[in-house]
């Protein structure tokens, strides 16, 4: 622990502005003598004391509740003192200033034991950082604290609460224990090569590796769903020129964001807009029409459209219902679909959306894709848009039982992807006619290291700084 992490810290723990109640939080070592000296009252552990908070003349700045939580039974694992006062910003600022004044006063014979040197204002997220450093929370739980505070929907809040309770961490630890056991078997085979017994075959090492891969897949699916709840989905509208992509963006956003004309190829670049559907953030991206063209500017737009598709969580493959009888149009749609299927991972859904139903002469038939049944809409009249919105909400996990979803961040998904890569290499080694057990052992070790970074068991200090800097001051 750095020296700065040993200094006592103080901050206003409630939101800025006026309110009925405001809280000043102090965390550090041996707080009780200092608190008793300042407040003139002996504080019982976890007991609410109603008393005045005096200024330097002995007059009350305010009256409220003082609660003392001795280490290690506190949020940070240190002594924690909370002052619950009226929620005016001036009152809370005066309490912070008076605490700093009394803590850093010059020592004399009567206050030596009550002196609290180096008390300072807390940095963003520093209380939770100390909870992590003092093993009160692991890193995934600490991040869930901020996610719970920032949650904008009930689903996101419940998923964050699930991660904060340790469910995500428990799943990671269970997977880690499986790695530990399998590594033990591999290392035993390396250490005792002269043994007649094939430890790996007798212990069904290949079966254990397959089981770990399946367990990882399940965790990854739940984490990806939680990441969508936290960060929102990137929804890319793709299709041929003049299918109504810009009209659909405008209809979903409720504003004229993109230029709409009957001329094919009007959109030359990406147009992005973040909207909310029942509180779930969706990042909608309109793209240039996908087609072969000699226009250099349009070629760049098409290239950027494919780049957006590669980063999508959901692709809305937009078709023109008025072109259902045009075989060449259908052939071009089929070619685009083939490219989508080749480029996208299987967990990224492609929704077939038939637009311009107000112009269709017959029901449109969607090409077969690795996704849901076709939706029929009219971006012009609004027909079918509510069904499309509900489909997007379902894909974002809004209707999913949240007990099954972990709130997750991009770094968690990256770590799980690295684990998956190492497991793929481990499978290749173990399936080889002449298994390179030293390489197998190394891939399992690297996979476990990547997994441990999720809970912070092997995490660089600079990453901790980035993570906790996004927290609010009093947390």
Annotated binding site: 25, 82, 136, 242-247, 261-267, 286-289, 475
The percent of the chain in helix, strand and coil, each rounded to the nearest 5, is: 45, 15, 35
Binding site residue list for (6S)-5-formyl-5,6,7,8-tetrahydrofolate: 25, 82, 136, 475
162: its two tokens: 């699930």
Q: Please answer whether residues 226 and 256 qualify as being in contact, where contact means their C-beta atoms are separated by less than 8 angstroms.
A: no
Beta strands in 168-232 (DSSP E): none
User: What angle is formed at CA 385 by the lines to CA 301 and CA 233, rounded to 5 degrees?
Assistant: 55
For residue 260, the tally of other CB atoms under 10 A from its CB is 19
Binding site residue list for Mg(2+): 246, 267
Give the CA radius of gyration of the chain.
Answer: 29
Who contacts 397 (Cβ-Cβ below 8 Å, separation ≥6)? 155, 159, 225, 226, 228, 229, 405
Distance (Å) of CA 177 to CA 32, 108, 309, 430: 41, 55, 37, 20
For residue 443, the tally of other CB atoms under 10 A from its CB is 21
Binding site residue list for GTP: 242-247, 261-267, 286-289
Give 97: exposed, middle or buried? Use CB within 10 Å, 0-12, 13-18, 19+. middle
**Distance of alpha carbon 407 from alpha carbon 397, whole angstroms:** 11
CA dihedral 7, 8, 14, 19 (to 10 degrees): -140
First-to-last CA distance in the chain?
Answer: 19
Residue tagged 């997994």 (tokens): 451
Binding site residue list for K(+): 242, 261, 263, 266
Backbone φ and ψ of 63, nearest 5°: -120, 140
183: its two tokens: 């590594």
Burial code (b: 16+ CB inside 10 Å, e: under 16) for 367-398 equals bebebeebbbbbbbeeebbeebbebbbebbbb
**Distance of alpha carbon 124 from alpha carbon 469, whole angstroms:** 5
**Distance of alpha carbon 25 from alpha carbon 53, whole angstroms:** 14
- Scanning 48-88, the segments in alpha helix (DSSP H) are none
Element (H, E) at 333: helix 327-343
């Amino acid at each position: 622990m750095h020296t700065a992490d040993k200094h006592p810290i103080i901050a206003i723990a409630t939101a800025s502005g006026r309110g009925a109640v405001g809280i000043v939080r102090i965390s550090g070592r041996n707080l009780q003598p200092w608190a008793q000296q300042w407040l003139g009252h002996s504080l019982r552990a976890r007991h609410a004391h109603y008393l005045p908070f005096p200024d330097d003349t002995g007059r009350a700045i305010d009256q409220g509740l003082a609660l003392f939580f001795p280490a290690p039974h506190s949020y940070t694992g240190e002594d924690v003192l909370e002052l619950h006062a009226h929620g005016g910003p001036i009152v809370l600022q005066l309490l912070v200033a008076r605490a700093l004044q009394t803590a850093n006063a010059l020592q004399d014979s009567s206050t030596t034991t009550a002196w609290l040197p180096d008390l300072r204002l807390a940095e963003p997220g520093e209380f939770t950082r100390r909870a992590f450093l003092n093993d009160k929370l692991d890193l995934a739980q600490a991040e869930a604290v901020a996610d719970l505070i920032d949650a904008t929907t009930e689903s996101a809040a419940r998923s964050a609460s699930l991660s904060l309770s340790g469910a995500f961490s428990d799943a990671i630890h269970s997977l880690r224990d499986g790695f530990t056991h399998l590594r033990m078997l591999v290392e035993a085979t390396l250490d005792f090569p002269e043994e007649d017994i094939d430890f790996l075959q007798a212990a069904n090492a290949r079966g254990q590796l397959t089981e770990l891969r399946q367990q990882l897949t399940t965790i990854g699916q739940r984490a990806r769903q939680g990441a969508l709840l936290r960060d929102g989905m990137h929804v890319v509208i793709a299709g041929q020129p003049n299918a109504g992509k810009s009209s659909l963006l405008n209809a979903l956003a409720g504003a004229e964001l993109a230029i709409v004309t009957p001329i094919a190829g009007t959109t030359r670049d990406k147009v992005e807009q973040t909207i909310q559907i029942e509180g779930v953030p969706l990042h909608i991206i309109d793209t240039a029409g996908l087609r072969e063209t000699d226009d250099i500017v349009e070629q760049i737009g098409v290239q950027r459209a494919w780049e957006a598709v590669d980063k999508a969580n959901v692709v809305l493959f937009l078709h023109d219902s008025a072109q259902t009888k045009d075989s060449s149009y259908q052939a071009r749609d089929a070619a685009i679909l083939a490219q989508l299927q080749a480029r996208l991972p299987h967990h990224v859904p492609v929704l077939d959306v038939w637009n311009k139903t107000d112009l269709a002469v017959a029901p449109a038939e969607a090409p077969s894709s690795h996704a849901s049944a076709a939706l029929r809409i009219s971006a012009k009249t609004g027909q079918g848009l509510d069904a499309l919105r509900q489909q997007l909400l379902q894909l974002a996990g809004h209707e999913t039982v949240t007990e099954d979803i972990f709130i997750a961040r991009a770094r968690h998904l990256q770590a799980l992807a690295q684990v998956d890569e190492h497991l793929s290499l481990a499978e290749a080694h173990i399936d080889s006619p002449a298994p390179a057990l030293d390489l197998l052992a190394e891939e399992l070790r690297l996979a476990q290291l990547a997994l441990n970074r999720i809970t912070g068991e092997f995490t660089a200090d600079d990453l901790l700084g980035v993570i906790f800097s996004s927290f609010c001051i009093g947390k």
